[in-house]
Amino acid sequence: MAAAKYEEQLREAGRPERQKTHRHGAGHGDALADFRRRFIVSTILTVPILLLSPTIQGFFGFTLVFPGSVYLLLVLATVVYIYGGWPFLAGIVRELRVRSPGMMTLIAVAITVAYLYSAAVVLGLVGGDGFFWELATLIDIMLLGHWIEMRSVLGASRALEELVRIMPAEAHRVTDGGAEDVPVERLAPGDRVRIRPGEKVPVDGVVVEGATSMNEAMLTGESRPVAKKPGDTVIGGAVNAEGSVVAEVQKTGKETYLAQVIDLVEHAQQSRSRAQDLADRAAFVLVAIALSVGAITFTAWLLAGETLGFAVERSATVMVITCPHALGLAVPLVVAVSTALAAQTGLLIRDRSAFERARNLEAVVFDKTGTLTEGRFGVTDIFPLDTIGEDELLRLAAAVESASEHPIARGVVRAAEERGLEVPGADTFQAIPGKGVEADVAGRTIRAVSPGYLDEQGIAVRNERVAAAGRQGKTVVYLLEGNTLLGAFALADIIRKESREAVDRLKGMGVRCMMLTGDNRSVAAWVAEELGLDEFFAEVLPTEKAERIADVARRYRVAMVGDGINDAPALVQADVGVAIGAGTDVAVESADIVLVRNDPRDVATIVTLSQKTYAKMVQNLLWATGYNAVAIPLAAGVLIGAGIVMSPAAGAVLMSASTVIVAINARLLRL
C-alpha cells in the first residue's frame, strides 16, 4: 500500500461523498467525528451482542436465551458490521480500484469473513459456533485505533493550524477622519493601520509613527521582545506590547511573511521523504504477507482437522494483526512533527530530502559578511597611547565623529552608545579632506584622522598591537590633541557573538567549519582565527563561489550558508543550501532551508534536528515492522499447544497499540 494515501483514506473512510476536506483541517475534523460516532454506536450495540453470545454466556456461567434471540444477535451484528465496518468496506473498494491493496483491504477481508461465516452458522448453512462477539469487538477496537491515530495526525499538524489562527480578522485603518475597523482582507499596500497595545499586527508593513516592542516568538522563534521605531518592519501576527504605533501596509494576502511560512510548511509536510519510499515498499510486502499467510493459516488448520470456525478465526487474526497502520504513520507523522517544530523555531524547510541529508554533513561553509559578521563597521580594539583610559578616549572620539554620517564615524559613535558613555558636546566641526575630521570638545581641539594624515605630519606610531591590527586588514583611526597622539581605534566588520557558539557547536559534532568571502585575505584570516575556522577562502568573486563549493563537495558532504542572493549559485551547488538572515523575505528560491532569524547557531540546530528526525523515522520503521515477527506466528496459532491463543480482538488491540506507540514516539521529537 502507498502510505501516502493513508490520510486520504482516513479523511474519506466512513462517509459518502458529501463533503470535501478543508485545506487546514475541517475535513480532518469531520472524519474524526465520524469515526468517534461510529465507535460509540458500535460499542453500545456490542453490549447486547456479548450478552447474547453463547461463548460469553458459557465463559461467565449464565444463560440468556429467548425465542428469536439468535436472530436478534444476527441483526445487531449486521448493523455493527455495516455501520461500524463501513470505513473499512469503503476502503477496500478504493484500494482495489487503484490496484493497491492495503490496510483497509486486510481489515475488510477479516471482518467480512468473520461475519459471513457467523451468519451462515445462524442460518443453518454450516455447522459450528459463530463469533459475532469477536466480530463486534474487533470492529470496535479498529474504530478506536483509527480514532486515536487520526487525533495523532491532527495533533502533529496543530502547530500549522495555530499559525493560521495567528492573523487577526480586523484592523484599525487610519483615515482622514480618524480610524475605522475593516476586515484584514480589505487592506491594500499603502494603507495605514493603527496597532494598539496588546493587539496583533494585521499585515506586514513598516512603522511610520510611534515606538514599541513586539513579541515575534510564534513567527521567528525570537524569544525576546523586538524594539520597533519608525522605519522598522513589522510582521503580521506579531503581538504589540506597550506602545501604540501606526504602520504602513506593504504586503497583504499570500505575499505576507506568515502566508509564505504556511505554504512552505505545508509543502514540506507533503513532500516525500526517502524513508517514505522504504515504508511504502515494506507496507506492500506486509499486505502480501498478511493475505498469503492468512490463506495458508486457514488451509493448514482445515487440513489439520480443525473446524471451519477455528480456521476462519486464525486467518482473520493474522490479517488483522498484520495491518500496516503503524508503518503507514511511521514516516508521515515524524515529517509533520519535525516540520512544524522547525517552523516554530525559525527553520523553514523547503526540501525534505536536503533536510534529511543534513544529518550526514561533514563540512559547513559560511559566507562572511552578514552571516558570520554583522555586515557593519564597529570598533574591535581600542589602543590608549597616552595617559587617558579607553572610555575617555572613546568619549572624545565619539564627540568628534558625531556629526559625520561616514560608516567609520557611525561605528565609533555606536561603540560609545553600547558602552553607555555620555558623549560630550562638540562644535566648530571641520573636515580634513580625505584624512579625517576635527572639532572642539570642551575647549580642546581633537582630531580623528587616518594613518595617511600621520604620515604627512611626520608622526610615528611605535605600537605593535596597532601595527598588528593594520596587518589584519582592519581600519585604524587615530585620535590627536594638537600633535599629541592620544590613542587609536581599530574598526572592522563586527563578528557576531553567535558565530563563535555556532562554530563551537558544529565542531563539537565533528563538522568542519569554513568561510567563503570576497573580502581581502588579511580580513578573512583575522575572522577565521577569531572563530577557530578550519579553512577559509578569501578574495573569491561571486561567480567563483559555486566552483569553490564544488571543490569542497569533492572532499566532504557540505552545506553552504549565505544570504540567498549573491550566494545563490553556491547554495544550489552545495549538498544542503541554507539561506540565513532572510527576515520577512521567505521565498529564497535557491535555498533548501531558510533561517528566519539572522543567527548562525541555527545551522547547528538544523543538523541536530535532522539527526533526531531520522532517528525517529528509523525507530518507527523498526517497531512498525519488527513486532510482526512475533505477532504473526502467535496469530496463526503456532503456540496453541502451549495454551496460547490470540483472538481477533486481541490482535486488533496489539495492532492498534503499535500504531499508538509510533504516534507517541513521533510526538516525543518535541522533547
Q: Across 28-32, 140-144, 294-298, 549-553, which has the greatest mean pLDDT? A: 549-553
Find the CATH number of the domain harbouring 486.
Answer: 3.40.1110.10
The domain total for the chain is: 3
Residue at grid coordinates 555586515? 375
229 and 250 both lie in a single domain = yes
pLDDT band at 24 (very low <50, low <70, confident <90, very high): very low
Task: Say if CB 247 and CB 201 are below 8 A apart.
Answer: yes
Distances (CA, A) of 404 to 53, 262, 381, 410, 411: 95, 44, 21, 7, 11
Eight-state DSSP code of residue 496 = P
**Which of the residue ranges 233-237, 258-262, 270-274, 522-526 would you say has the lowest mean pLDDT?**
270-274
Identify whether residues 403 and 455 lie together within a single domain: yes
Looking at residue 220, its pLDDT comes to 57
Judge if 271 and 134 occupy the same domain.
yes
Share of the chain above pLDDT 90, in %: 26
Confidence band, pLDDT 50/70/90 cuts, at residue 17: very low
pLDDT of residue 575: 92
Give me the DSSP letters along 585-624: ----TT-SEEESSS-THHHHHHHHHHHHHHHHHHHHHHHH
Question: Domain check: are 330 and 195 in the same one?
Answer: no
Domain extent for 134 = 3-160+266-338+616-670
* 12 & 115 share domain: yes
Residue 174's domain is classified under what CATH number? 2.70.150.10
Least confident of 10-19, 372-381, 510-519, 547-556: 10-19
Query: What is the average pLDDT across 352-377?
Result: 88
- Which pLDDT score, from 0 to 100, does residue 26 have? 44
Contact 142, 324 (CB under 8 A): no
Give yes or no: residues 130 and 271 share one domain. yes
Greatest C-alpha distance within the chain: 123
Compute the average pLDDT of residues 543-557: 90
Residue 227 included in any domain:
yes
As a whole number, the mean pLDDT across the chain is 81
Poorest-pLDDT segment among 211-215, 351-355, 380-384, 622-626: 622-626
The pLDDT, as a whole number, for residue 393 is: 93
Q: Do 175 and 220 fall into the same domain?
A: yes
- Per-residue pLDDT for 18 more than 50? no
Decide if 363 is inside a domain.
no
The count of other CB atoms within 10 Å of the CB of residue 374 is: 16
Active site residues: 367
| Mean pLDDT computed over 138-167 | 64
- Summarize pLDDT for 572-623 with one digit per residue, the tens: 889 998 988 654 444 356 678 888 777 899 999 999 999 999 899 888 888 8
For the segment 352-363, what is each residue's pLDDT rounded down to a tens digit? 788 889 999 999
Residues 6+ apart with CB under 8 A from 95: 1, 101, 102, 104, 105
- C-alpha cell read off for 175: 483615515
Q: What pLDDT score was predicted for residue 323?
A: 64
Same-domain status, 287 and 189: no
Domain co-membership, 24 together with 81: yes
CA distances (Å), 400 to each of 419, 428, 450, 476, in order? 17, 10, 14, 16
- What are 373's strand-pairing partners? 495
- The contacts of residue 306 (CB under 8 Å, 6+ apart) are none
Residue 605's pLDDT is what? 93
Radius of gyration in angstroms for the set of CA atoms belonging to the chain, rounded to a whole number: 35
Determine the pLDDT at residue 586. Answer: 44
**Of 446-455, 489-498, 499-508, highest mean pLDDT:** 499-508
Domain boundary among the residues 255, 288, 316 is at 255
pLDDT in tens, 301-343: 999 988 887 887 788 778 767 765 666 667 777 877 887 788 7
